[in-house]
């Protein structure tokens, strides 16, 4: 092998030199010989080979990597990337191809994070190559999607944040849609359920059925709508959640979904029983049932808060013991959750700790007062218009 490489290096004619090296490369790729492949890589990156020749040969080598057996391909590709690293500026195009090939291999093996790490090593801000914003956006979104396959929201968010600077000027509809889906999934994984619900609902309202080469089928839109409902139910109980629930409940498409019965009960502020909660839990993803620091799961907390808010519509007041029995938790925990919801203005009421009673406040009186104020404004405006008419002013209708 050494004599073959020395012989090729001694050839003075550039065309013959390249052809000889290509012949050596072809024999290595055919035999899947790791040792000889590493020797060739070391030789290509040495001072014995002109940069023009080594670039051309490494380009061919990178493009033909896929012909090697998977494990050998990984070993040689990683070795090549390590050896190139000190001179990576001179071989950016070749490194890009190797990384993309290796990422493609990892993706086919469902090694999502490894594929993402490989693509994330591509220098998208290089001054040596002309890279357009569409390519940058596609790589950022692709890396984010790969990390999301492993439910790694933190690393996915880092790349979606990079993509957010590019997506506003993007005319590529497929990439824009993929960005929106990734962003919604990240919010979902980070348990920002209300924001995720709004994003999912926005996606479910897409009217086009063909975006670029991608066909949007009804099943995908229904999946996004179901995800919006799930996230809304899991969101912190309060006025904002109620508004989103109203929007979803009034959407005719929701009535066709399997999740509709629980949406209906949550919207109508009915207390949910354990069998209903257990049936809902079967449809949830692992992060939506994760254990929180207070030893409640995400689902437990959402259901307790919902049932507490529903109870506030049924009762004028209730003791801690009765509330704990209703919610299926110890009385002191019921008091703590109620106090937090009142403090955060998600529920109206007050707590009498001496009597161990929660007093709920009704919004009806405030609404009546608001209605009276509107009537007063309308009456005053009517009086002004009548006065203007008596004085002969023309009043536009």
Does position 364 have pLDDT exceeding 60, yes or no?
A: no
For residue 233, what are the contacts with CB-CB under 8 A and spacing of at least 6?
Answer: 262, 263, 266, 280, 302, 306
End-to-end CA separation in angstroms for the chain: 96
Residue 124: the pLDDT is 82
Does position 36 have pLDDT exceeding 90, yes or no?
A: no
Does position 37 have pLDDT exceeding 60, yes or no?
A: yes
| Per-residue model confidence as pLDDT tens digits over 312-362 | 888 888 999 998 898 888 999 989 989 999 998 888 888 988 888 999 887
| Per-residue model confidence as pLDDT tens digits over 135-153 | 889 999 999 999 999 989 9
Residue 226: the pLDDT is 94
Does position 368 have pLDDT exceeding 70, yes or no?
A: no
DSSP one-letter code for 252: G
Does position 48 have pLDDT exceeding 70, yes or no?
A: yes
- What pTM was estimated for this model as a whole? 0.78
For residues 105 and 116, give the distance between their C-alpha atoms in angstroms, rounded to a whole number.
Answer: 11
Residue 180: the pLDDT is 92
| Per-residue model confidence as pLDDT tens digits over 294-313 | 888 999 999 999 999 888 88
Residue 127: the pLDDT is 62
Please provide the average confidence, as pLDDT, over all residues in the chain.
Answer: 86
| Per-residue model confidence as pLDDT tens digits over 180-209 | 999 999 999 999 999 999 999 999 988 776
Does position 397 have pLDDT exceeding 70, yes or no?
A: no
| Per-residue model confidence as pLDDT tens digits over 210-262 | 666 667 778 888 999 999 999 999 998 888 999 999 999 999 999 999 999 99
> Of 364 and 395, which is predicted with more confidence?
395
Q: Is the dihedral of CA 284, 291, 184, 179 positive or negative?
A: negative
CA distances from 295 to 218, 233, 257, 335 (A): 39, 20, 31, 16
Residue 228: the pLDDT is 95
Q: What does 184-206 look like in DSSP terms, one character per residue? A: HHHHHHTT-HHHHHHHHHHHHT-
Residue 114: the pLDDT is 92
Residue 216: the pLDDT is 75
């Amino acid at each position: 092998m050494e004599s073959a490489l020395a012989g090729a290096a001694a050839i003075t004619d550039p065309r013959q030199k390249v052809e000889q090296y290509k012949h050596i490369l072809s024999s290595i790729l055919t035999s899947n010989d790791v040792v000889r492949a590493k020797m060739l890589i070391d030789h290509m990156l040495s001072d014995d080979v002109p940069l023009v020749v080594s670039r051309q040969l490494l380009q061919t080598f990178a493009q033909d990597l896929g012909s090697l057996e998977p494990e050998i391909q990984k070993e040689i590709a990683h070795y090549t990337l390590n050896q190139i690293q000190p001179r990576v500026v001179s071989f950016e195009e070749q490194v890009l191809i190797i990384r993309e090939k290796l990422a493609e291999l990892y993706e086919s093996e469902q090694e999502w994070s490894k594929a993402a790490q490989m693509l994330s090593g591509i220098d998208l801000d290089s001054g040596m190559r002309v890279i357009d914003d569409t390519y940058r956006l596609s790589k950022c979104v692709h890396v984010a999607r790969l990390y999301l396959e492993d439910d790694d929201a933190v690393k996915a968010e880092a790349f979606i944040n990079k993509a957010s600077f590019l997506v506003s000027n993007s005319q590529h509809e497929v990439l824009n849609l993929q960005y929106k889906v990734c962003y919604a999934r990240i919010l979902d994984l980070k348990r920002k359920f209300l924001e995720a619900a709004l994003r999912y609902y926005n996606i479910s309202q897409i009217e086009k059925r063909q975006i670029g080469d991608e066909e949007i089928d009804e099943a995908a839109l229904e999946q996004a709508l179901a995800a919006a409902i799930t996230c809304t139910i899991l969101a912190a109980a309060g006025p904002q959640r109620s508004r989103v629930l109203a929007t979803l409940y009034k959407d005719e498409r929701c009535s066709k979904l399997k999740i509709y019965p629980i949406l209906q009960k949550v919207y109508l502020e009915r207390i949910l029983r354990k069998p209903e909660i257990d049936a809902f839990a079967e449809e949830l993803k692992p992060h939506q049932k994760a254990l929180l620091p207070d030893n409640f799961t995400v689902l437990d907390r959402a259901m307790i808060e919902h049932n507490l808010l529903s109870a506030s519509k049924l009762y004028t007041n209730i003791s801690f013991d009765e509330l704990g029995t209703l919610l299926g938790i110890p009385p002191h925990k019921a008091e703590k959750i109620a106090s937090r919801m009142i403090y955060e203005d998600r529920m109206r009421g007050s707590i009498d700790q001496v009597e161990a009673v929660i007093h709920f406040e009704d919004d009806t009186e405030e609404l009546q007062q608001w209605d009276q104020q509107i009537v007063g404004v309308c009456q005053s405006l009517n009086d002004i218009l009548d006065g203007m008419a008596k004085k002969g002013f023309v009043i536009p209708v």
